[in-house]
């Protein structure tokens, strides 16, 4: 036996495990119902941890609910959001799992639609939304300012109540890639996926292997087809793992958010949640082999040239191991896409159910007269 073989079989042999398990979710949130929203967030994190996941992402503005509208002008909305985060931080919920939560943040007296990363009872970083939705049903720039300092990280001073729990005075604020011990993670938010020059392009070229998207996307007939294609195409050319989370249900106004959270790897769908449901929480998980992502990217020289010359994105080091899952990687699957007739039947029915139980009404009055 050669010396090399002895070393390989000895106690100091290097065993490579690039397997990671990740989670996304559909949450049925209510605008301004902080207690109910927090219960759903906590339940989704518990289910993700129970499944053995090391990373969980959730919908856009999941702490407040997406449809708060002009209540985003009120300081109480931000105060109660931090109260919800304080309850999460002041527990063992984030021990051993990196959590990505959507909430509004006031930074230097400016309102931002943001993602907050939490791990082991500490806030790792805050990522504000870059591109706002301002067409159709959306008027995000009425309530939020888009973050424009793409290449710059600032320090966000935490509320004193949060500092007392975490022992932190400030955390990084801006666009960044989280560099864990064994992989890299980044995120974008809803509308950013639908834009021509989506952030995930630059993030992927800078080495982000897992990219999460917390969304608040409403149901529109056949809109899911476009969403699925965009999610798959986000990794079809550049490789990577893309997690999409969405709200589900009527959160208080005319819109119905149609869930369908999913996970895609290298352009193929690996997991998909339900589009229409009356459940408050649905967690979608997948086991991902990061070596597949690295091989996929390294096999395309043209991508390598673009990556080598791409604009630099700030990096935030995170002392956390994501890999080590012993399960087999999740294989590709065929997406479930409902017929138009099914969408027409399920969408309004689910909206009516949510509106009824939220309004406290006893039922609907259906006039049958044709007069």
Report the catalytic residues: 60, 129, 190, 369
CA distances for 126 relative to 105, 203, 357, angstroms: 9, 16, 34
By residue count, the chain amounts to 371
Among 37, 115, 86, 34, CA closest to 281 = 37
251: Cα within 13 Å, side-chain hemisphere: 32
Backbone angles phi, psi at 4, to 5 degrees: -60, -40
CA–CA gap between residue 242 and residue 234 (Å, rounded): 7
Backbone angles phi, psi at 231, to 5 degrees: -65, -45
Cβ atoms of 215 and 189 closer than 8 Å:
yes
CA–CA gap between residue 371 and residue 366 (Å, rounded): 13
CA distances for 9 relative to 15, 17, 91, 187, 369, angstroms: 10, 17, 42, 40, 83
315 SS3 class: strand
> Tokens 């989670």 — which residue?
23
In angstroms, the first-to-last Cα distance of the chain is 95
Cβ atoms of 228 and 217 closer than 8 Å:
no
> Tokens 């999941």 — which residue?
62
Cβ atoms of 104 and 111 closer than 8 Å:
yes
């Amino acid at each position: 036996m050669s010396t090399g073989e002895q070393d390989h079989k000895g106690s100091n042999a290097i065993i490579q495990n690039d397997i990671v398990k990740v989670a996304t979710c559909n949450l049925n949130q209510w605008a301004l119902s902080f207690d109910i929203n927090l219960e759903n967030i906590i339940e989704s994190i518990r289910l993700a941890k129970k499944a053995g996941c090391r990373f969980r992402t959730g919908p856009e503005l999941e702490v407040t609910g997406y449809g708060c509208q002009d209540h985003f002008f009120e300081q109480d909305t931000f105060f109660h959001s931090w109260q919800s985060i304080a309850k999460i931080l002041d527990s063992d919920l984030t021990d051993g799992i990196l959590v990505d939560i959507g909430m509004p943040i006031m930074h230097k007296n400016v309102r931002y639609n943001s993602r907050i990363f939490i791990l082991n009872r500490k806030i790792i970083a805050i990522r504000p939304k870059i591109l706002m939705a301002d067409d159709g049903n959306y008027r995000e720039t009425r309530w939020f300012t888009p973050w424009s300092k793409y290449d710059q990280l600032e320090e966000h001073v935490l509320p004193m109540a949060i500092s007392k729990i975490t022992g932190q005075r400030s955390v990084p604020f801006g666009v960044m890639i989280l560099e864990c011990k064994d992989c890299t993670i980044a995120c974008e938010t809803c509308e950013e996926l639908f834009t021509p020059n989506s952030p995930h392009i630059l993030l992927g070229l800078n080495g982000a292997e897992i990219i999460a998207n917390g969304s608040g996307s409403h149901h529109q007939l056949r809109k899911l087809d476009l969403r699925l294609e965009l999610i798959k195409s986000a990794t079809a050319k550049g490789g990577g793992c893309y997690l999409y989370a969405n709200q589900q249900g009527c959160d208080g106004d005319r819109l119905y958010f149609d869930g369908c959270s999913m996970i895609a790897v290298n352009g193929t769908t690996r997991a998909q949640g339900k589009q229409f449901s009356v459940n408050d929480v649905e967690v979608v998980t997948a086991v991902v082999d990061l070596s597949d992502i690295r091989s996929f990217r390294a096999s395309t020289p043209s991508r390598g040239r673009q990556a080598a010359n791409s604009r630099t994105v700030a990096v935030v080091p995170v002392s956390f191991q994501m890999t080590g899952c012993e399960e087999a990687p999740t294989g590709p699957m065929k997406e479930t896409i409902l017929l138009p007739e099914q969408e027409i039947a399920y969408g309004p029915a689910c909206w009516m159910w949510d509106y009824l139980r939220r309004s406290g009404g006893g039922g609907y009055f259906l006039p049958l007269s044709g007069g």
